[in-house]
Chain A
Amino acid sequence: MIPPSYTKAEASGIWVFLEQESGRLEGVALELLGRGRQLANEAETLLSGVLLGSDVEAAAQVALAAGADRVIVAEHPALAVYTTDAYTKVVGEIVVERRPDIFLLGATPNGRDLAGRLAVRLRTGLTADCTGLELEAETGLLLGRVTGFGGGVVAIIKCPEHRPQMATVRPGIFAPPELTAKPWGLIERVPVRLSRHEIRTEVVERALHEGLDLTKAERIVAGGRGTHGDFGPLRELAALIGAEVGATRVAVDEGWIERERQIGQTGYVTRPKLAVVCGVSGAMHFTVGVEAAECVVAINSDEEAPIFEQADYVIVDDLFSVLPSLIKQVRALESG
């Protein structure tokens, strides 16, 4: 066994890494506080958030309102923007000092970058990209559900001896909690020992698309290679019904649409009421991203397309002849 940094007997509490961007909590951080609260109640233990940044008081208050018993805040100008070195050092030191039993992070690019590095520094196990979290009845161990092989298989993974039991969780899996007007938790500030020369990463450029969050979209119109690069009719329909436009990886890789709109295993897992999926074959890599939709409409010219297995309404036709009609009829509906 690779010796852990601390023992099971020394470990207690459930922790959530509170990823933030410009002082605003990521959606998945709130989702984890929601699920973490339920697990903490079940295990009769405390729920803590760990929040790093440069000016994050407001975010800490939100985390308390979301049900944390405690928010551990580490503020430093060098923590304003995520870098592997700074975040691993600061989070690693706090964990070793305070010894959580369970430590949950969002499976965002930065969450996974940090978790992978931290797990080795702490010499512990990490269950990656979970789509479900439970506690094992007899042992209280964390059980992480993990999809593999392009979405066809689920494995249940646990970490019996090493602490903390770490897991990253896919955004959009758990519902965000109700915020309470009367939070009971406390903010605990910790000193940050960090000098600039410990941070090897130099950030040259950063570009974020504010306001786009496919995981929160109520309606989605998604396109794939079958659009042949023309998302025009999809955009028109989307604008009409208040939907976000999403895409397959192929469409993104072709440069037809921004990467922030990619749905699927390496994109976003969405849970809209309605997903209209056009010119998409239905690879498991994609369908895991629309599985939680209440209603799926598939338009594909190939009657054998696997996407039809995953659709409530099946339209075997050219998307370029169906969408204009659809747009016309929705318009008529709205004005009528």
Chain B
Amino acid sequence: MNAMRTPHIAVCLKVVPRPEEVKVNLETRTLDRANARQQFNPPDVNALEFALALREKHVGRVSVLSMGPPFFAEYLKLALAVGADTAYLLSDRAFGGADTLPTSYTLARGIAKLGDCDLVVCGEESSDGATAQVPPGIAEWLGMAQVTYGSDLEILPERWRLKARRELKGGHEVITVPLPAVVSVRVGANEPRFIDFARLTGEPLGVTVWSAADLGVDPAMVGLSGSATVVAGVDRAETVERRRELLTGTPEEKARTLVERIAVYLARGTRPDGAAASSPAAHA
């Protein structure tokens, strides 16, 4: 039935500050991210790669979508240069300060406006938000099935379902869900391709910008006013002061000193649950 059907895949891309360049201002208890250089949220690059690989297999098209300030457009152009077909930036002052509730709502409205999305691919979590909840949120707003922590994505054309491996605590599962669906993928789950700079400099690459009015959203549902959570403060993460004692000599001498130093930790005892340490097996 679906033999002729080709998927329209949307990829949600977020641009984030490089983590090592974000500083905490302890006086004002705010984050200084203004001077931090930006990058694609790492797993989102894997999300884009999955979408492009699926398009190679099943034809169809790939749209990239982002909610953020105007400078995100430059990054969306990079996504076009890597091979995405169309790019949309949801950008409006009203979207600012959004937590995951309005973020997932706004992205869902953008995806709905694309019209005919069969699959939405996201990253597992963002390095600045680190919530992993935007993808399930999008799925809920759109009433779509969801797969989180996914890898090995496949579209089963005869059944029009997505098949994916999904990480579990202490294991994994392989599941299928009907399309349309939202999937979030693990960082490093595939090997992203390089940017085709010919595409970047060749044809004019357009990014369509949609405002709150374009999406027809109620301003009270987006951005800061749509958010349910409030940041009460920020802090530098506490770091434990370590001894940092340098052990010197030959490898044997270092090992000997170390054994003396850590002898108390080597005392064998049963673990609290009484279980023996399980033997590690090589990963196939």
Contacts and interface: CB of A to CB of B under 8 A. Distances in A.
B5 interface: no
Interface stretch (A34-42, A44-52, A58-66, A146-154): A146-154
Contact of B19 (A210, A256, A284): A284
Q: Considering the complex of A and B, which 6 residue pairs feature the smallest CB-CB distances, nearest first?
A: A125-B228, A116-B136, A116-B133, A208-B171, A150-B19, A325-B255
A155 B228 contact: no
Contacts of B252: 325, 329
A244 B277 contact: yes
Contact of A309 (B102, B136, B167, B242): B242
25 contacts: A2-B228, A21-B170, A26-B169, A113-B136, A116-B135, A121-B140, A126-B101, A126-B229, A128-B129, A148-B129, A149-B17, A152-B19, A155-B235, A159-B230, A200-B145, A201-B145, A238-B280, A256-B283, A295-B262, A310-B242, A313-B245, A314-B246, A317-B254, A325-B256, A326-B259
A71 to B, nearest CB: 21
Nearest to A115: B133
B148 interface: yes
Which range holds the interface residue count of chain A? 35 or more
A78 interface: no
Contact of B271 (A205, A217, A252, A329): A217
Interface in B216-269: 220-221, 225-240, 242-247, 251-252, 254-256, 258-259, 261-263, 265-266, 268-269
A140 interface: no
Interface string A122-142: 011111110000001000000
A333 B263 contact: yes
B88 interface: no
B38 to A, nearest CB: 13
A218 B141 CA distance: 43
Interface of B: 17, 19-20, 22, 24, 31, 99-102, 104-105, 124-125, 127-137, 139-141, 145-149, 161, 163, 166-178, 186-188, 220-221, 225-240, 242-247, 251-252, 254-256, 258-259, 261-263, 265-266, 268-269, 271-273, 275, 277-283
B177 A158 contact: no
A1 to B, nearest CB: 6
Given A123-B101, A148-B129, A157-B229, A201 B177 contact: yes
A312 B170 contact: no
Contacts of B279: 239
Given A109-B169, A161-B228, A256-B283, A154 B258 contact: no
B271 A216 contact: yes
Nearest to A260: B170
Contact of A159 (B24, B229, B277, B283): B229
Interface in A150-184: 150-162, 171
Interface of A: 1-2, 4, 21, 26, 84-85, 88, 108-110, 112-113, 115-117, 119-121, 123-129, 136, 143, 146-162, 171, 200-213, 216-219, 231, 235, 238-239, 241-245, 249, 252-253, 255-261, 265-266, 273-274, 284, 288, 291-292, 294-297, 308-318, 321-322, 325-326, 328-330, 333
A314 to B, nearest CB: 5
B200 to A, nearest CB: 28
Given A119-B101, A156-B231, A322-B251, A261 B277 contact: no
A209 B134 CA distance: 29
Contacts of B269: 218
B240 A291 contact: yes
Contacts of A127: 229
Contacts of B177: 200-202
Given A116-B131, A152-B20, A310-B242, A206 B137 contact: no
A212 B133 contact: no
Nearest to B255: A325
A197 to B, nearest CB: 11
Contacts of A113: 136, 146, 148-149
Contact of B232 (A84, A151, A157, A261): A157
Contacts of B228: 2, 4, 123-126, 159, 161-162
Given A154-B234, A258-B283, A266 B187 contact: yes
Contacts of A315: 247, 254, 258
Interface-central residue, B163, B172, B263, by most chain A CB under 10 Å: B172
Contact of B277 (A112, A238, A265, A310): A238
